[in-house]
Structure 1
Amino acid sequence: MVTARARDEGQAFPIYVVAVTGLLFAAFAFVVVGMAGATRSDAQGAADAAALAAAREARDNAFEGMNPLTLTQGDWEKILSGDRLVALGACAKADTFAAMNDATAVCEANIPEFKVSVTTNGTIGESVIPGSEGIHGKAEAKAVIEPRCSLKPGPAPSPTPSPTPPPGGGGAGTPPSVEFRCKGGVALTFDPTKPGSLTQLARRLFSVRLAD
């Protein structure tokens, strides 16, 4: 009887080993899935940051090379519609932000949109799944520049010239202030004779967001 029990235990031992091995492999595979998810999350974070950086660079340089004193109403309308936005330096900024997140980026500028594809420099790492040490995280993101303001309609022309020039000049050779109507009912007045930071003006006129 003792011999029969020992024989049964001897037959069960290989099955036990196989079962434990299977459970361990499943546990390690679950860990690899978690590592892959983390790598994918790192890639998506890098892609989002790079796309936003590219769009913000283009937005911040909206007035690059322009003289506010010479801008006409038609010029302002083109600026607000995004027709004057340029992508110069935007994709380089995307590359910089991707590198800061230990990744490389491929940037596609199609103003007002910037699409960035990112590949992480790091991989999932060695694991029980063959080839995982060569798998990099990949992700894509798109950022878009949107106007927040429009030109405020001016008053109807008066049949007789006003003796008092409008704020910000308006006299001979001096352009009047430009008035904007922005989202949320916010009014914005810009004096071309005292422009201040044109980058800050661009940030008030345009917003940047991630797009689907």
Structure 2
Amino acid sequence: MTRKRHHADAGQAFPIYITVVGGLLFLAFAYLAVGQAAANRNGAQTAADAAALAAAQERRDQLSGAWLENLLDPEKWQDIFDGVAEGLTPTCWRAEQLAADNDATVLSCNADGLLSYTVEVQTNKTVGDSIVPGTETKKSRATATAVIEPRCGIDLPAPGPEEDADEKEKEELPTLDCKGGIDWELDPETPGDLLPKPEDLFDVHLAN
């Protein structure tokens, strides 16, 4: 009698065991699907961040080049620090390059004003097959904004006698007061390799 009851209990437990194992397998596959989606999303965000920074850094380099070209014309310096300069060219091609390097495609790249870029990208790869329907064709999107921030202000020299103004402008350039307590006392004869570099003149960082 005891042996029969033992076999009966074992028979009843087996379906429960199968149900529990099936549930655990389902949860495991569900977590895997979530992980796949998260990895794909992280890849999209990495690509968006890199693309936005690349576009902003290209603009920073152009502005730095414009500042060097106008080194002897301090009246144009503030405009350049504000993002206004002659000869600036589109920079979103750099965003496309960096997105491609991160296996993504740029959907949009916009200059938000003069010193900011917002880029939206989409991954080239899908999330992949999973228990969640539709993931085999699902691609992730992400957006990032990069900001160009001037590091320096201009310390204009005190005006001298009117008759000496032209001569004074030729001899002296304004001092650049930059972040970190760095002051650049410039001279028209300063060698190019001793002049401020793009990263000395502008910070580039993600908005968030």
The structure-2 alpha-carbon separation of the partners of 1:47 and 1:159, relative to structure 1 and needing over 3 Å to count, comes to closer
Question: Does 2:53 align with 1:52?
Answer: yes
Q: TM-score under structure 2 normalisation?
A: 0.83
- Cα 1:201–1:190 shift into 2, 3 Å: farther
Match of 2:201 in 1: 205
Instruction: Give the drift of 1:96.
Output: 0.4
Q: Deviations 1:57-89 (Å, cap 9, x if unpaired)? A: 011011359842663x33112112223388633
Cα deviation, 1:81-100, whole Å, max 9, x if unaligned, reads 22338863311100100000
SS in 2 for 1:114: strand
Q: Show CA shifts across 1:138-194 (max 9, x none).
A: 2111100011111112123147749xx66xx826xxxx4342111122111344566
* Runs of 4+ with >6 A deviation: none
Residues 87 and 109 in structure 1, CA contact (< 8 A), matched pair in contact too: no
Match of 1:116 among 110, 114, 119: 119
Give the CA deviation at 1:207.
Answer: 1.1
CA separation of 1:35 and 1:200: change in aligned 2, threshold 3 A: farther
Equivalence map 1:23-102=2 (5 Å): 23-62=24-63, 63-64=65-66, 67-68=69-70, 71=73, 73-84=74-85, 88-102=89-103
Contact map agreement 1:85 1:112 (CA 8 A) in 2: no
Query: What amino acid sits opposite 1:68 in the alignment?
Result: N
Q: Which runs of 5+ in 1 are unaligned?
A: none
SS at match of 1:53: helix
- Number of residue equivalences: 203
Does residue 149 in structure 1 map to residue 152 in structure 2?
yes
Greater Cα shift, 200-209 or 30-39: 200-209
- Mapped partners of 1:157, 1:65: distance in 2: 25
Supply the RMSD in Å over aligned alpha carbons: 2.9
- Aligned CA distance change for structure 1 residues 10 and 85 (closer, same or farther; 3 Å): farther
Q: Give CA deviations for 1:94-143 in whole Å, capped at 9, x if unaligned.
A: 01000000001121112211011121111221122222222222211110
- The superposition leaves residues 4-51 of structure 1 with CA deviations (integer Å, 9 ceiling, x where unpaired) of 432332232122111110011101211221222222211111111111
SS class of match (1:119): strand
Aligned-partner residue type, residue 155 of structure 2: K
The runs of 5 or more residues in structure 2 that have no matched partner are none
Q: Match of 2:181, as an amino acid?
A: G
State TM-score, norm by structure 1. Answer: 0.81
Q: Is 90-99 or 116-125 further displaced after alignment?
A: 116-125
Structure 2 vs 1, CA of residues 132 and 114 (structure 1 numbering), >3 Å: closer, same or farther? same
Identity of aligned residues (%): 41
